[in-house]
Structure 1
Amino acid sequence: MTGKQRERDGRAQRPQSPPGDQGHPRRWLILVALCAALLVIVIDNTVLNVAIPEIGRTFDASTSELQAVLDSYVVVCGGLLVAAGALSDRFGRRRVMVAGLVVFGLTSAGAALAPSVWWLIGMRAAMGVGAALVMPATLAIMVRVFPPHERPKAFAAWTAVGSVALGLGPLLGGALVDLWSWTGIFLVNLPFVAVALAGVLRLVPESRDPAAGAPDLPSTALVTTGMVALVWAVIAVPERGALATPVLGATALALVSLAWFGLRQRRANAPMVDFGLYRDRRFAGASSAIALIAVATGSTLFVLSQYLQLVRGHSAVVAGMAALPLAAGSVLGSVLGGRAPTRIGYRASIVTGFVVTAAGFGALAALEPDSSPLHTAFGLLLCGFGTGFAGPAATSTALGAVPADRAGMGSALNDTHQQLGIAFGVAVLGGLLSTAYRALLPTGVPHDASTSLAATLSFAEERTSAALADAARLAFTQAQSATMAAGLTCALAGAAVAMISLRKPSR
């Protein structure tokens, strides 16, 4: 194969820029405002991971309840993203983003006042509504204001800002938890929301799809109900059992709701979801790869924050600092990944990034109770670099297959794949962690004391049993290794999907 042939093959999936398409004249300033809105959403997700142990102690919450604190936000957000994309196409992306930021700020204040873990779960779900209104609009506006040949760089900058928030969030959260309390991680959202609102109102132009239909409220209710029920069922399996009546009921509700949603979309004149997009190999392949890597990475900080604080004995601030290598790797990966598609091709960029991520999970799977901090940092650095390197190519490939007028819908679907991947990552891998931990605990530990590592350590402290505490820490570390090995498998599966689905079509 000649050099030119390899170049053509490597760039086969790259969106082509129409001649003379220079984009919006203020597109880079617009990107700054959009990244400020993204910063609000990402910081809230990452800041919470460090506070999970403190929230668990405050409310005496089990592992499944702590998973629900994380997942209630992600699941509601994922369930509403498609509807939010349709709303932004119809009523204006800027207007919907502003509404989402306002909702997010108000519900953050409500979460800080939570008197119980279930109130907190409810407020987190309400925050997911605000996030759902913000996220599709950011990508949709980027698609509208940037020409196709500049989008990988724009998406790389967007990813890099998210990566900075990934590192800033845990560090900020750790400081707030240590110096104040977990309530500070929600109150800190308010100034960030104010800054983001000012930037969006000042810089971002309005855009909409003139052919967009009216919002389909029954379909919105069906897809949200289905997603919430399905993820709840996955979360509940470790504690209740796969054949428990509530689990079977939630699974049935999810299947019926999602099947009904699919039927409504196929019969609708102006569907919220154009299922024909999934017949495009670029869109289907890139979307599947994005979902798989999100499953792998979704529970990483959830697991490691407990390892660092409850096994290693670090403070919340030190645990937050451990996320810095993940963020640094992601920023570096995003910078290089924004340029890589034009040099090695979109498929090679995605596959390379996912393989590096898998290597990072391999390093994290080898952690021991007394492992060096450099070991953890190295694994997180590889995970961050790999996802950052693959991100711009994966996003550009998926959105490059969507018509420009349906940018809101395409962006919503892209976000849905990622958010639901995170939700299932926390649910499935968190369930694996919980199940493996219980199985590895010494016999004789009561059920209530085996729901989480924090509960077991509290039980051991009451009985002044240092041996039980050491055994619990070892059991958690071994369960963590199984969870990280599952993440490695998901990352390699994403690489395989990209390798197969994004190959150059034969003539």
Structure 2
Amino acid sequence: MRKWSPLVAVCLGTFLLLVDVTVVVVALPDIATSLGAGNDDLQWVLDGYALALAALLLGAGSLADRYGRRLTYLIGVLIFALASLACAFAPSVGLLIAARVVQGVGGAAMFATTAALLNVTYQGRDRGVAFGVWGAVNGAAAAAGPIAGGLLTEHLGWHWIFLVNLPVCALAVWFTVRGVAESKAPWGGRFDVPGTVAFTVAAGAVVYGLISASVDGWTAGSTLGAFVAGLAGFVVFIAVERRSDHPMLDLGLFRRAPFSSLIVAAFLTQAAAFAVMPYTTVWLQQILGHGPVDAGLLGALPMSVASLLVGVLAGRALQRVPARWTVGMGLLLIAAGDLLQTRVSPSSGGDVLIPGLVVVGLGVGVVLPTMASAVLGEVPRERSGMAGGALNAFRQLGFAFGVAVLGTVFGGVYTDGLDTALRIAAGMALLGSVVVLIFCKHTPVAERSVSAPAHA
């Protein structure tokens, strides 16, 4: 059991931070009643966490490489636990939003280090098993959020969607202290403060713009201003990183077509597989009249179970197949699953979503573990935190992008809008598949040397 303690520690944290992206979806009506929150407030309860998570991931990964991945992960878990407690007892919606942002800070420290900790801990067959299980937890957690939120909200109250985090955080700390060895990059040098600030501002502005677009429209002043600020931030970030002796993100990694194509695939996977979930949940509750528990079960459980089974049962075998095929074909499954769900009609029941959700779950179970290990296989081991932070930052940016784009066409709770949103999500998955199949040409991850030069 001691051999798998690091995997348990990492999976506990991963499950928590990804569940909390969507766990509040079905609890929003109760939160509005309890705290007197308006629609804009509720949007920020949902998105404040995602904003901090996306903006800080890359900086957290760079900090972890320099000062210790185990230490960074533990600090992230403790911040997440304290912020969860603050969320549960927030007396106003403003304080709840603030606590959700702090939760995102802790989540970023955790998420930026999870893949890197597995990469430096496990080798050979164990590495394939570890990434298979971790990838399955990724897919299952993102889909399980509405289920957990529905059960806790309906039977115990919305406060418990945050209180339940505390014992899980305690377990994560115990397993980490007991079984995870410290690791860090061997190089010295100062922490890249200008690069970290530039990326945080840029990513934060872009996510804010996407949130604003889904609320105020794509041509609103707040939306356009945020996008301009984000673009300027990314220009500054690139300029700073090109001149830095110790960059937080080595831009030379993007010269490798497999690395770049996998980052694009990560962005599109989150948009295609998960961004439609808030809208299917709304459709199930407000059009079909399901309660929070039923909406969570119908809208997420089939996907969660399928993803978990693929990762657990086939994770190690998938690591021996070139990522070009696993990620590419997995994205095709996600596209097919999205299209299967377009059979929704005003007269259909919630069970019409189940076949498509199962197929999406199969695709997610194939894509996430192999994508993570393939990205880490493209960089030296000492840059694991950097690569893991970049991968997960683009995943969160993809989720925010997908929610904004699909929210524009959803336009409320209407069946036609959900149908259109699902078709767009399928197109995103298809685009990601094409990119990977064309550009991700490398050997199976299990046969690669993880110490290969970053600038091959």
What is the TM-score with the length of structure 2 in the denominator? 0.90
Task: Please state whether the residue corresponding to 1:159 is helix, strand or coil.
Answer: helix
1:393 is displaced (CA, Å) by 2.1
Provide the C-alpha distance between the structure 2 equivalents of 1:167 and 1:301, rounded to a whole number of angstroms: 8
Report if the CA contact (8 A) 2:268-2:429 is conserved. Answer: yes
Which of the numbers 183, 186, 204 marks the counterpart of 1:228?
Answer: 204
Max Rg structure: 1
Q: Does 1:403 align with 2:380?
A: yes
Q: Does 1:213 align with 2:151?
A: no
Match of 1:112 in 2: 88
Q: Does 1:257 align with 2:233?
A: yes
Match of 1:302 in 2: 278
Report if the CA contact (8 A) 2:5-2:178 is conserved. Answer: no
Match of 2:398 in 1: 421
Task: Please state whether the residue corresponding to 1:313 is helix, strand or coil.
Answer: coil
Match of 1:493 in 2: 431
1:271 is displaced (CA, Å) by 0.3
Provide the C-alpha distance between the structure 2 equivalents of 1:342 and 1:80, rounded to a whole number of angstroms: 29
Which of the numbers 480, 492, 506 marks the counterpart of 2:418?
Answer: 480
Provide the C-alpha distance between the structure 2 equivalents of 1:282 and 1:83, rounded to a whole number of angstroms: 23
Provide the C-alpha distance between the structure 1 equivalents of 2:59 and 2:387, rounded to a whole number of angstroms: 11
Unaligned runs of 5+ in 1: 1-24, 438-452, 454-475
Q: Does 1:157 align with 2:95?
A: no
Q: Does 1:72 align with 2:48?
A: yes
1:153 is displaced (CA, Å) by 2.6
Task: Please state whether the residue corresponding to 2:23 is helix, strand or coil.
Answer: helix
Report if the CA contact (8 A) 2:75-2:109 is conserved. Answer: yes
1:169 is displaced (CA, Å) by 3.7
Q: Does 1:270 align with 2:246?
A: yes
Match of 2:79 in 1: 103
Provide the C-alpha distance between the structure 2 equivalents of 1:290 and 1:399, rounded to a whole number of angstroms: 13
Structure 1's 230 and 163: CA in aligned 2 closer, same or farther, altered over 3 A?
A: closer
Task: Please state whether the residue corresponding to 1:294 is helix, strand or coil.
Answer: helix
Q: Does 1:29 align with 2:13?
A: no
Report if the CA contact (8 A) 2:75-2:106 is conserved. Answer: yes
Provide the C-alpha distance between the structure 2 equivalents of 1:415 and 1:363, rounded to a whole number of angstroms: 28
Alignment coverage as a number of residue pairs: 442
Letter in 1 for 2:423: A
1:59 is displaced (CA, Å) by 5.3
Provide the C-alpha distance between the structure 1 equivalents of 2:9 and 2:213, rounded to a whole number of angstroms: 42
Provide the C-alpha distance between the structure 2 equivalents of 1:285 and 1:400, rounded to a whole number of angstroms: 14
What does 1:345-364 correspond to in 2, within 5 Å?
Answer: 345-364=322-341
Report if the CA contact (8 A) 1:36-1:199 is conserved. Answer: no
1:286 is displaced (CA, Å) by 1.2
Report if the CA contact (8 A) 1:89-1:212 is conserved. Answer: no
Structure 1's 383 and 52: CA in aligned 2 closer, same or farther, altered over 3 A?
A: farther
Report if the CA contact (8 A) 1:171-1:317 is conserved. Answer: yes
What does 1:91-490 correspond to in 2, within 5 Å?
Answer: 91-147=67-123, 150-166=126-142, 168-237=144-213, 239-322=215-298, 323-335=300-312, 337-341=314-318, 344-434=321-411, 437=412, 453=413, 476-490=414-428
1:428 is displaced (CA, Å) by 2.2
Letter in 2 for 1:314: H
Provide the C-alpha distance between the structure 1 equivalents of 2:239 and 2:31, rounded to a whole number of angstroms: 41
1:62 is displaced (CA, Å) by 5.8
What is the TM-score with the length of structure 1 in the denominator? 0.82
Structure 1's 305 and 244: CA in aligned 2 closer, same or farther, altered over 3 A?
A: closer
Report if the CA contact (8 A) 1:293-1:491 is conserved. Answer: yes
Report if the CA contact (8 A) 1:298-1:421 is conserved. Answer: no
